[in-house]
Structure 1
């Protein structure tokens, strides 16, 4: 663990803080916000328009209100203790995406953050949540492991303000699997913290397929609400 990680966790333990989801109380995450993240069930979500090549995506929450605040606190404010409840939420989505009866080994492949973003934040939020989710799944009897094999092979523009079509074009060909990162026909599940237009997961799936992997689907903590982006749930 990086020195920065230790500092953030020690600060979170020593100094009383308000709930990251609702701002009430003096806890990192209150029971109601934990319920919002972990109540389930995770469901299939579809961005609209749905990008060609996007694997089935499952989410346990809407990216709004409490869930949005918790994800941002973990990602941008370095509230590292939130990786545990977020990992539990992601594990619910993973279960839904690959089926409750799956018992064979499962590789969770996180969508990578840009190096500049990781340096600015001091951590890689998606990889951290993925590791927490894998720990939950292993305790529940699923042979899950995190395989951070995707990397960015070229720079991309800031996605903020881009349309769904522009995001797809911006990310097209941007990711690649590290040489030897995946075994032939290896089943993998893509994981991310949230899905908006689906452009990132579509590009990640393309890169995995190009390397001979088999993306079974994708699991995220949250999806944009219908009113914000046209995502549908079923």
Structure 2
């Protein structure tokens, strides 16, 4: 974290996290991509349902997520979490799921399980960024009559390298066997939607899905806020 940049954020008036121009948390233009409908992402490794996503991880969204995750602008959890809720709802739509009334009668509501961040990253940031977005998404879904619960079901078994500079194959190798289920009884036989903030190659989601299925979860689908764009050679 850049100490000088963070100090300036505290001293200077808040500006849009996306473009840095308008004196608001998020201007209309930068917020617009987060308010669109969900669509299946193109990136999906073998055995993983195409993740539902809302926007593309480029331009202002990169700055928005960095401001939320790395620079303490936690108020951005609201628009980001709402976008995640849109993707989760799309992942749930094809399935017959209990209503809020049925859930109260003992039917299992869908569980939202997120890909865990590296422990070092969580300590450095001072907050569990993805968990914050999942909490907002769950609250939004419940207000629309979709009963979901948040389950902290996954943990890292050991140290993994930072994924940012790795190729798709290297990401898959880096994450092989890296995740485990904390308490299989929490999710065995229960409907689960797996969530993350961004899907790049899908390696993190694929490893998480493997762990959940091994523990007996009924994986309904996956959902993210954004997907990295696919660049084709000219």
Scaled by the length of structure 2, the TM-score of the pair is 0.86
Quote the Cα distance in structure 2 between the aligned partners of 1:161 and 1:228: 19
Distance 1:57 1:26 in 2: 34
Corresponding residue of 1:26: 23
Given the alignment, which residue of 119, 122, 125 partners 1:118? 122
Q: How many residues align?
A: 216
Tell whether the 8 Å contact from 1:102 to 1:142 is kept in structure 2 after alignment: no
Q: Is the 8 A contact 2:184 2:216 kept in 1?
A: no
Q: How far 1:101 sits from its partner (Å)?
A: 7.0
Structure 2 equivalent of residue 91 of structure 1: 85
* Residue 173 of structure 1 pairs with residue 177 of structure 2: yes
> Following the alignment from structure 1 to structure 2, what is the Cα–Cα distance between the partners of residues 209 and 183?
9
Q: What is the alpha-carbon distance in structure 2 between the residues aligned to residue 63 and residue 128 of structure 1?
A: 19
Structure 1 stretches lacking a partner, 5+ long: 1-7, 230-234
Task: Note the 1:34-49 alignment, pairs <5 A.
Answer: 34-38=31-35, 40-47=36-43
Residues 165 and 216 of structure 1, relative CA distance in 2, 3 Å threshold: same
Structure 1 match to 2:203 = 199
Deviation of 1:52 after TM superposition, in Å, equals 2.1
- After TM superposition, give the deviation of residue 204 of structure 1 in Å: 0.4
Shift of 1:180: 3.9
1:4 corresponding residue in structure 2: none
Which structure would you say has the larger Rg?
A: 2
CA RMSD of superposed structures (Å): 2.1
Q: 2: distance between equivalents of 1:28 and 1:184? A: 40
| Structure 2 gap segments, 5+ residues each | 1-5, 99-108
Q: TM-score, normalised by structure 1?
A: 0.86
Q: C-alpha separation between the residues in 2 aligned to 1:92 and 1:117?
A: 26
Please report how far the alpha carbon of residue 56 of structure 1 lies from its aligned counterpart in structure 2 after TM superposition: 2.5
Q: Which sits farther off after the overlay, 128-137 or 93-102?
A: 93-102
2:164 and 2:59 map into 1 onto residues whose CA distance is 19
C-alpha displacement of 1:226? 2.0
